[in-house]
Amino acid sequence: MIALVVPLFVLSAAGLAVAAVSHVAAWLGVVPFSNATFEVVTGGMGITFLAATFLIIRVGQATGEAQAFKFLLTQAVWWVRALVIGLFVYMLVIAIAASGTGSNSYVVGEVISAAKLRTFSAAWLALYGIGFAVSLTIRGKPALLLGRKCPAGHPVRASDQFCATCGAPAVNSQARNQQTPTPKSNKLLFFLAF
């Protein structure tokens, strides 16, 4: 499961960079690439979102949290949380603004206008941003995928202090008892990603 995190991080960081450049270009009235590239970036967004959703579901299963994405965001560093929320709100604003203009749909082979690129690149920003946040948070805290158990081996939610099944005190798994060092390369990766 952890093997999925690094490829997701690389794909989402690259997609986020392409989406940011495309979005700025669209605001300037320029379409910097062909339809084929547009379709590849949109497909990559779908792959990124599916992989992030898979990891979110796994974190929910491991931690017992019903709202796993919300829980995962609480585990993220503040700037990652702000990035995801900001990009999602921005995407909604752009989508609402584009709803009456016809720039929120695409037919394969259609020539991409700057208005369509602006709308789609806002969605790319939000969804690649979710993949980036999920992969960066799990990469920094891989124990999120392992979950907690009571001494009898029953799964225990991350917020519980006692097992709901047997009443024993909840203990951290072996991996959670070890301090997970934050990779020193996070600062460099953040710099390179933006």
Query: What does each C-alpha distance from 103 to 87, 113, 156 come to in angstroms?
Result: 19, 8, 47
Q: What are 188's two structure tokens?
A: 């460099």
pLDDT at 51 over 80: yes
pLDDT of res. 177: 38
In single-letter form, the type of residue at position 171 comes to V
How many Å apart are CA 137 and CA 99, to the nearest integer? Answer: 33
Q: What are 121's two structure tokens?
A: 């690149």
Task: Give 190's pLDDT tier (boundaries 50, 70, 90).
Answer: very low
**Mean pLDDT confidence for 160-188:** 60
How many Å apart are CA 63 and CA 71, to the nearest integer? Answer: 9
Check: pTM over 0.85? Answer yes or no: no
pLDDT of res. 180: 43
Q: What is the CA radius of gyration of the chain?
A: 19
Going from N- to C-terminal start, the domains of the chain cover: 2-146+184-193
Task: Convert the pLDDT of each residue in 94-148 to its tens digit.
Answer: 988 887 776 656 666 677 888 888 889 999 999 999 999 999 999 988 878 877 7
How many Å apart are CA 13 and CA 190, to the nearest integer? Answer: 9
Point out which residues pair with 162 in neighbouring strands.
Answer: 169
Question: How long, in residues, is the chain?
Answer: 194
Q: What are 91's two structure tokens?
A: 């995407």
| C-beta atoms surrounding 175 within 10 Å | 13
